[in-house]
């Protein structure tokens, strides 16, 4: 069984981002980029399925500028077998990404696609669901547990009220939460080995996909900042302030 | 212009997030219709019909909708939603599960976590864990939006007199099946609706120590929340998680105990009216957003707070 994993290169979660003064977006020059944390969990899960003998090949896909190759290499060092880069300098929105992935699925015919539930830059949480829709496949979103067996996937999903378990007929799309697993660090030998693994480069035109954005970003602004308040010296003072000043208790 | 809202419910009661979504829908203008897809969900449809501002309720009552599975529900929402100019759902785990699927089937973009409606085609939404706000304009004829509940007031749950129309089910692709659900049972208020939240971080140290927070919560009639780190550490279940990828809350009072204040957590609670931080590390970033900060060890402060609140 073949698994496709999609990974995104994003501004590292530790970076304190800055909005550009002209309101055109977020300043991404000279900041650290890493693989989207949710996608790391997606790669890890695929590698574990391979180690368990359930998966024969892991294909990892990323989209964007040539630098996204680094993100693919990271996934290859974790244990993926080969990579595909959809090279594009343009902004790729979730619907376009889902269409590009659907075109790759048509070529590669995997039984399972695993993606992170959300990218920590645009916070959309859409691509997995959109891909499942375009393929007419079932979806297991926000997965914190995945069991693949005999043409089925049993997915435990994190929902607002607690947990929900669903059974999906393969092929299926899984979008994963961080609690699914703890991603491994790539070892130095595996990082060296990953350099020899193949990465194919395709363009949206090669895949016959219209990737034009549907949303125009008019402006990006700083959110309203909260002002730090006062320090209180004791619990009694805190309760007094909450009762008599803030009047919230 | 007319707007379709996909109601959030559990077949018994309508979830309050639907009321906030009605307010957002009204800002788009035009008639507001609510789709209740469920099984044995007549009472939910009747409740939706009473919401002020709702013109019509569509009830699709069929076993295939009992658990809100995205595959059948998205087909229904597409079949009905094509006639509308916008389809909205609360930005809850169910809305986030279904709406992107609906949008892709309609070949339109979906806009997540809408916080403000500038005009019928222009919306404000948070990016980078809410550290930037993007104003986006949709070029699609049909808009598909998930709505952040804390950004819109709840519509009045009574006063409306909408008609309830029955609609037929749209078929089931049969690709998915519900197996089980583990829903946390709690006597405390729901996190997203609570007026007061008492929340703990990794610094709480253990599941056992969270009981100290629960004592405070019960004295205040508050809900208990947590950071991702506290959930990951196994102190509390996942449905208590507040933050970028957990629940978004904006209570009157948010008490953050042993929470450092990572941006991913702040993303979920920084719109709270009053924030209290209790942390032994006076350099903790949480103090930069707190209205009242107390530098103290939680094992001293929490029992003291419990005593003080009993006075």
Measure CA A136 to chain center.
21
d(CA A106, CA A171): 12
d(CA B271, CA B250): 5
Give the containing element (helix H, strand E) for B87: strand B86-90
Q: Cβ B69–A130 below 8 Å, yes or no?
A: no
Output the six-digit token pair for B169: 């089910």
Output the six-digit token pair for A76: 């290859």
Query: How many C-beta neighbours within 10 Å does residue B46 have?
Result: 15
Chain A contact set for B180 (CB, 8 A): 164-165
Question: What is the predicted pLDDT for the residue at A225?
Answer: 86
Chain A residue closest in CA terms to B298 = A235
Handedness of CA B178, A105, A79, A96 (dihedral sign): negative
**Interval A109-121 mean pLDDT:** 98
Chain A contact set for B237 (CB, 8 A): 162-163
Q: A-contacting residues of B 279-308, CB under 8 Å?
A: 282, 287-296, 301, 304-305, 308
Chain A residue closest in CA terms to B139 = A214
A120 close to B (CB below 8 A): yes
CA atoms in the 13 A half-sphere facing the CB of B83: 9
Per DSSP, the three-state class of A121 is: coil
Query: Do the Cβ atoms of B149 and B91 come closer than 8 Å?
Result: yes
Residues in Cβ contact with B231 at an 8 Å cutoff, skipping those fewer than 6 apart: A179, B237, B238, B240, B241, B246
Distance between A27 CA and the closest CA of chain B, angstroms: 11
A51-76 residue pLDDT tens: 999 999 999 999 999 999 999 999 99
Question: What is the predicted pLDDT for the residue at B311?
Answer: 86
**Interval A10-14 mean pLDDT:** 96
- Counting residues of chain A whose pLDDT is more than 70, the rounded percentage is 100
CA distances from A229 to A242, B217, B281, B289 (A): 13, 23, 16, 7
Per DSSP, the three-state class of B208 is: coil
Mutate to test the interface with B, among A235, A239, A241 (most CBs of B within 10 A): A235
A11 close to B (CB below 8 A): yes
Chain A residue closest in CA terms to B176 = A168
For residue A241, give the nearest of B111, B112, B292 by CB distance. Answer: B292
Q: Cβ A242–B180 below 8 Å, yes or no?
A: no
B140-153 residue pLDDT tens: 999 999 999 999 99
Q: How many CB pairs under 8 A join A and B?
A: 250
B150-174 residue pLDDT tens: 999 999 999 999 999 999 999 999 9
Query: How many C-beta neighbours within 10 Å does residue A26 have?
Result: 18
Nearest to A9 by CA among A98, A58, A69: A69
A232 close to B (CB below 8 A): yes
Question: What is the predicted pLDDT for the residue at B185?
Answer: 84
- Counting residues of chain A whose pLDDT is more than 90, the rounded percentage is 97
Residues of chain B with pLDDT under 70: none
Q: B-contacting residues of A 20-59, CB under 8 Å?
A: 26, 38
Distance between A59 CA and the closest CA of chain B, angstroms: 24
CA atoms in the 13 A half-sphere facing the CB of B283: 0
For residue A226, give the nearest of B270, B292, B304 by CB distance. Answer: B270
Residues in chain A, total: 249
Question: What is the predicted pLDDT for the residue at B184?
Answer: 82
Query: Do the Cβ atoms of A60 and A43 come closer than 8 Å?
Result: yes
Residues in Cβ contact with B140 at an 8 Å cutoff, skipping those fewer than 6 apart: A214, B108, B109
């Amino acid at each position: 069984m073949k698994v496709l994993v999609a990974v995104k290169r994003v501004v590292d979660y530790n970076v304190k981002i800055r909005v550009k003064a002209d309101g055109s977006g977020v300043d991404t020059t000279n900041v650290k980029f890493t693989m989207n944390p949710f996608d790391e969990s997606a790669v890890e899960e695929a590698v574990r399925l391979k180690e368990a003998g359930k998966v024969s090949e892991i294909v990892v896909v990323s989209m964007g500028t040539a630098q996204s190759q680094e993100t693919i290499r990271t996934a290859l060092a974790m244990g993926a077998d080969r990579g595909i880069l959809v090279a594009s300098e343009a902004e790729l929105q979730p619907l376009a990404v889902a269409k590009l992935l659907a075109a790759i699925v048509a070529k590669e015919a995997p039984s399972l696609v695993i993606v992170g539930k959300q990218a920590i830059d645009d916070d959309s949480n859409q691509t997995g669901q959109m891909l499942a829709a375009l393929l007419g496949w079932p979806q297991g979103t926000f997965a914190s547990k995945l069991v693949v067996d005999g043409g089925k996937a049993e997915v435990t999903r994190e929902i607002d009220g607690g947990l929900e378990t669903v059974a999906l007929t393969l092929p299926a799309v899984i979008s994963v939460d961080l609690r699914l697993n703890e991603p491994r660090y790539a070892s130095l030998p595996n990082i060296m080995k990953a350099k020899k693994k193949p990465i194919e480069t395709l363009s949206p035109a090669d895949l016959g996909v219209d990737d034009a954005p549907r949303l125009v970003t008019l402006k990006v602004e700083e959110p309203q900042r909260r002002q730090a308040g006062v320090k209180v010296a004791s619990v009694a003072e805190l309760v007094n302030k909450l009762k008599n000043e803030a009047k919230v208790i | 212009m007319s707007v379709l809202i996909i109601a959030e419910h559990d077949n018994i009661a309508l979830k309050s997030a639907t009321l906030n979504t009605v307010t957002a829908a009204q800002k788009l203008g035009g008639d507001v219709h609510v789709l209740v897809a469920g099984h044995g969900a007549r009472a939910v449809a009747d409740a939706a019909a009473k919401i002020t501002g709702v013109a019509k309720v569509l009830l699709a009552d069929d076993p295939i909708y009992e658990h809100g599975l995205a595959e059948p529900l998205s087909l229904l929402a597409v079949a009905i939603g094509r006639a509308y100019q916008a389809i909205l759902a609360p930005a809850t785990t169910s809305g986030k599960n279904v709406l992107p699927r609906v949008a892709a089937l309609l070949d339109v973009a979906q806009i997540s976590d809408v916080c403000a409606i500038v005009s019928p085609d222009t919306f404000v939404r948070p990016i980078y864990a809410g550290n930037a706000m993007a104003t986006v304009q949709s070029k699609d004829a049909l808009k598909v939006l998930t709505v952040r509940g804390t950004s819109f007031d709840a519509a009045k749950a009574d006063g409306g007199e909408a008609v309830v129309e029955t609609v037929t089910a749209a078929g089931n692709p049969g690709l998915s099946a519900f197996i089980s659900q583990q829903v946390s049972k709690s006597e405390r208020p729901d996190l997203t609706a609570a007026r007061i939240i008492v929340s703990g971080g990794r610094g709480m140290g253990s599941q056992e120590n969270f009981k100290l927070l629960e004592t405070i919560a019960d004295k205040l009639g508050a809900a208990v929340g947590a950071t991702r780190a506290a959930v990951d550490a196994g102190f509390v279940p996942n449905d208590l998680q507040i933050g970028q990828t957990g629940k978004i809350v904006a209570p009157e009072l948010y008490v953050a105990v042993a929470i450092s204040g990572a941006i991913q957590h702040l993303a979920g609670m920084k719109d709270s009216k009053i924030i209290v931080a209790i942390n032994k590390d006076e350099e903790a970033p949480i103090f930069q957003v707190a209205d009242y900060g107390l530098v103290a060890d939680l094992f001293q402060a929490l029992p003291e707070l419990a005593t003080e609140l009993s006075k």
